[in-house]
Amino acid sequence: MAGVIAAGGPLTAAAGAAMLQQGGNAVDAAVAAAFVSFIAEIGVVHWGGSGIAHLYDPQQQRSVVYDFFSNTPGLGANQPAELDFARVVVDFGAATQDFYLGRAAVAVPGNIFGLCQLAVGYGRLPLPTLLEPALQLARDGVIMEPFQANTCDLLSPLYTHTAELRAIFAPHGRVVQPGERLFIPHLADTLTALAEEGEGLLRHGRLAQTLVADQQQNGGLLTAADLERYAVHKVDSIRIPYRDYELLLPPPSSTGGVLTAFSLQQLAHFDMAHFPHSSARHLQLLYEVMAATNRARPYWEQWSETLPVAAAIARFLDEGFVRPYVTQIEAALRHGRPAPPAAEPDGPNHTSHLSVIDADGLAVGLTTTAGESAGYVVPGTGFIPNNMMGEEDLHPQGFHSRPPGVRLPTMMAPAIVLQGGMTRLVTGSGGSIRIRSAILQTLSNVLDYGLPLAEAVNRARVHLENGVLQCEAGYDATAVTTLEKMGYPVNRWPHRSIYFGGAHSVARAADGRLEAAGDNRRGGAVARV
């Protein structure tokens, strides 16, 4: 077998598989799949977003994180007198949520820079080959999968914000439906130029010039200097032992990687044989681990601002700091009542993840986001920017309060598990702050409970939010009731939901077989070569 890929849709997975069939490696597969996802998964990700790629090479025993998340814009320019920054409201049924769009919501887009550099650094195939599946979709249009079409419909105030977006997402006076074709004018020309020029197209080429000119004319903050000076950070993984395994997680800008490592260090203190899966005891332990991580998070926020990154990570993950939280968990389990919860801010919801392992064991986990999109198309390009400057949780001191050129934080945390130096599992998720809980439970399902990969990915999940344990449909009702009688606040979901993430994962089984599992909450699909 040449490799496996799990991704957020069948076209995304097929693009990765095509690269493996052509002799490409896991990096080639991931890059080509990501480029396709920006069209095939347009309900959740776009070209104008940013992301994190995490890879491990067992031949060299080396891992590296490509951090191409967004920077704040505005280098070398004064703020316009009037910003293009508008609020829209989306009705989710049980609640509404505000989103902020417009040119001034656009942060520096990292996707093109990161993927091009990843391909050059570790891929085998040339960029035009990697872009061909996406270019074909751009020429022909994409038949909308149900999950993507339904997401666009849910977010219709965003995707019908301007006439140009309405022409793409609602050409017949309503949002595009499952099975209908979506076409983005001018995108094929932009991708043809990208295949010829590489990242230079967005660094200083026609796309950069058009993007910046539109920003300057319409109340935006992004400048030519922002694009010229943007750097993809290539950094070492956070490495922690977990039982018989070694876990690799991304460091900042990934807040999610550090917090996931903290949760796992707590969980490692407990013998999971005493916590049968899906039992009340298991639910109680998950609640307490998540609550303890939320209580610890303010220390991370403080240390990450005042200490060098390595020193902040070392202090936060030090056993002397972790142990008191474990003691609190033990006390809560012993007394059968919940420890104090702590709230945490939400994050960008529209995210997609893919995982790849090739025949040589080279592993890639890649997560991207566009926030929800900035609500417009850059004229004549088919390029839809992000709205990361309009995400309230990323700007706790207020919108546009961070200085230009600062890397924004993210919950993205593509994770890789090693056993004996070989890739054992690659996972990650979309889903804002639910990214951590999805990854934590997927890892534990495989490593602690030995569940088959597809079952580990698609088992019912829980997530702690504002002191309430959100229980997805599928958990044992008796266990949930028992937990509730112990005093734990619970919210029962009557159905499965994208709320609980999308942990598309790949693994190497004990007998050496490569496995892949798509998360069916988010249109997951797999391909094997």
Would you please indicate which residues are annotated as catalytic (active-site) residues? 351
Cα separation values, 373 from 346, 428, 438, Å: 17, 22, 24
Query: How large is the C-alpha radius of gyration of the chain?
Result: 22
- Give, to the nearest 10 degrees, the angle between helix 280-306 and helix 477-485: 70
Local structure of 374: helix, strand or coil: coil
Give yes or no for a contact between 71 and 402, defined as CB atoms under 8 angstroms apart: no
Handedness of CA 335, 338, 340, 342 (dihedral sign): positive
Give yes or no for a contact between 479 and 280, defined as CB atoms under 8 angstroms apart: yes
> Which letter does DSSP use for residue 106 in this model?
P
Residues whose CB falls within 8 Å of the CB of residue 383, separated by 6 or more in sequence, listed in order? 47, 48, 187, 190, 207, 211, 377
Handedness of CA 274, 276, 277, 280 (dihedral sign): negative
- Structure-block tokens of residue 84: 């293009």
Residue showing tokens 């295949």: 195
Give yes or no for a contact between 169 and 182, defined as CB atoms under 8 angstroms apart: yes
Handedness of CA 433, 439, 442, 444 (dihedral sign): negative
- Give, to the nearest 10 degrees, the angle between helix 309-317 and helix 319-335: 40
Cα separation values, 90 from 12, 99, 101, 352, 493, Å: 27, 8, 12, 20, 20
Bridge partner residues of 182 (DSSP): 142
